Amino acid sequence: AQSVTQLGSHVSVSEGALVLLRCNYSSSVPPYLFWYVQYPNQGLQLLLKYTSAATLVKGINGFEAEFKKSETSFHLTKPSAHMSDAAEYFCAVSGTLVSGTYKYIFGTGTRLKVLA
């Protein structure tokens, strides 16, 4: 069965510093992986997704993530944090529900705080 672990429920960075949000997955088959962002009292918005093409995936707002099969990781990074990046971030894996169908399995989220 597929699963997702996000290390660190809260992460704080200074404005301009590197953002690193960690996600490890467990999957018996090649996974499809997603990062979503959620601002307070809003829905989720897709940042980027990995669908077995390039291992380095670039997303919106300057974020990117690298799929590392050997480490079963899909960490999210951004070179320079901006105050507007403060939000909650969710990693998800698309896992097989029954043959031929899929469902998302979400991590528990990481709340990013950006310090001025």
Binding site for other proteins (CB under 8 A): 9, 32, 34, 36, 41-46, 49, 51, 90, 94-96, 100-104, 106-109
Minimum distance of other proteins from residue 97's CB (angstroms): 8
Minimum CB distance to other proteins smaller for 17 or for 22: 22
Give the contacts of 93 (CB within 8 A, at least 6 positions apart).
2, 3, 4, 25, 27, 31, 32, 33, 34, 104, 105
Q: How far apart are CA 41 and CA 58, in angstroms?
A: 26
Minimum distance of other proteins from residue 79's CB (angstroms): 25
Minimum CB distance to other proteins smaller for 14 or for 45: 45
Minimum distance of other proteins from residue 61's CB (angstroms): 16
Minimum CB distance to other proteins smaller for 25 or for 90: 90
**DSSP per residue, 37-93:** EE-TTS-EEEEEEE-SS-SEEE-GGG-EEEEETTTTEEEEEESS--GGG-EEEEEEE
Minimum CB distance to other proteins smaller for 14 or for 42: 42
